[in-house]
A = this chain, B = another copy of it.
Amino acid sequence: MTLDKTPASFQPPVRTLMGPGPSDVHPRVLQAMARPTIGHLDPAFIDMMDEIKQMLQYAFRTDNAMTMPISAPGSAGMEATFVNLVQPGDTVIVCQNGVFGGRMKENVLRCGATPVMVEDPWGRAVDVDKVEQALKAHPEASVLAFVHAETSTGARSDAEALCKLAQAHGCLTIVDAVTSLGGSELEVDAWGIDAIYSGSQKCLSVAPGLSPVSFSERALEKVRNRKHPVQSWFLDLNLVMGYWGAGAKRAYHHTAPVNALYGLHEGLVMLMEEGIENAWARHQRNHQALKAGLEAMGLRFVVPEDERLPQLNAVHIPEGVDDAAVRGRLLREFNLEIGAGLGDLAGKVWRIGLMGYASRRSNVLFCLSALESILVEMQAPIEKGVAVSAAMAALGEG
């Protein structure tokens, strides 16, 4: 695959991103990333790092000193929590109700530990009673790991109840909040979460590539007392914290992704300007509108109402409708991206994201109109001409 000539500069199409992420990045964030690069040990940069840490504490609702972004995507954030808290020979209870619980299992195995799986149907919350049984059956377990907001299905699990159970059984908790941070209620300290990771590209309106994480003092105590060195040099908290830690003196560990961090800083400034409770309420309001419109068309949600995430709406594809054809037309004719199903749900559901900057009234109406027009042309069995008015009525009530 040799190049005949130098490629042109890449000019991306201007899409509306209503899939499972990345979601629309706010123009202020895009602008921030284009500011001049400075050194990763520049005093001005160190000050900015401190602000990022403080704003992430705000977003995570925590006083944890070890709260910072990992210099890589959410998958690396996940790995950072496991390689630091799990040692060879440990037993880890892993809840799986979608794709990402399966990834947690992979991480446990690669740490040389034993995963005990608690499985629930895709599209449902983690069953708290089954977790309690697993904790009782495995007193040797040291960690309980679960996904707060399952991006593959849109299901929200009861993180507070699960953390309480873990504490009662002497387990630390590892929580995936990739899709929840900034989009719906999340309380790291109040719920007693020990290790949590998220992603920049969902409800923070920031480009993909960074993974905010936070670790409790209990978790750090465990890291400090490890018998085995952390298997990843890049993700070893003892080293990362030398760079992101408190105090003016920062030890060089790796070269931080300077411009990506400008973007995260700007996204967090915008979150604080809005107020995090207001951001949660906005996500809920736009979800209600989208839901009203989709249900008026006759589409059914995958997840029961009380286990549903407002920022990720998984709906069943109507009978006889070709998944890829619809998504392809939305992309080509409307520059609108919605998400496909993953794993067992591939070809059966669409995932419509309303995350961060993408969670706005205009997107709700745009998506409903575009989807309806294509489904009508394809002669899908849906109700016509009612989606937008149903959404507007829901917004009026909000």
Chain A interface (Cβ within 8 Å of chain B)?
Answer: 1-3, 6-15, 17, 19, 21-22, 24-25, 28, 30-40, 42-45, 48, 50-51, 53-55, 57-58, 63, 71-76, 78-79, 103, 106-107, 109-111, 199, 201, 207-209, 229-234, 246, 252-260, 262-263, 265-266, 269, 272-273, 331, 337, 342
Contact A12 B36 (CB under 8 A): yes
Beyond A1-B53, A209-B209, A260-B207, whether A37 also contacts B25 by CB under 8 A is: yes
B51 touches A12 (CB 8 A): no
A209 contact from B14, B17, B71, Cβ within 8 A? B71
The closest CB in chain B to the CB of A50 belongs to: B1
Contact A30 B37 (CB under 8 A): yes
Do residues A259 and B30 form an inter-chain contact, with CB atoms below 8 A?
A: yes
A96 to chain B minimum Cβ distance, whole angstroms, is 15
Do residues A269 and B8 form an inter-chain contact, with CB atoms below 8 A? yes
Decide: B72 and A72 in contact? CB cutoff 8 A: yes
Which residues of B are found within 8 Å of A19, using beta-carbon distances? 39
Q: Are B32 and A9 interface neighbours, CB within 8 A? A: yes
- Between A and B, 26 residue pairs with Cβ closer than 8 Å are A6-B272, A9-B269, A10-B48, A10-B265, A11-B35, A12-B45, A12-B48, A13-B44, A17-B37, A17-B38, A22-B38, A24-B37, A25-B259, A37-B207, A37-B208, A38-B337, A40-B208, A71-B76, A73-B254, A73-B255, A78-B233, A79-B232, A110-B233, A207-B257, A208-B255, A209-B259
- Taking CB atoms, residues of chain B closer than 8 Å to A39 are 15, 17, 19, 22, 337
A259 touches B207 (CB 8 A): yes
**Which residue of chain B has its CB nearest to the CB of A44?**
B13
A233 CB contacts on chain B under 8 angstroms: 75, 78-79, 103, 106-107, 110
Provided the pairs A207-B260, A233-B79 are in contact, do residues A30 and B36 lie with their beta carbons within 8 angstroms? yes
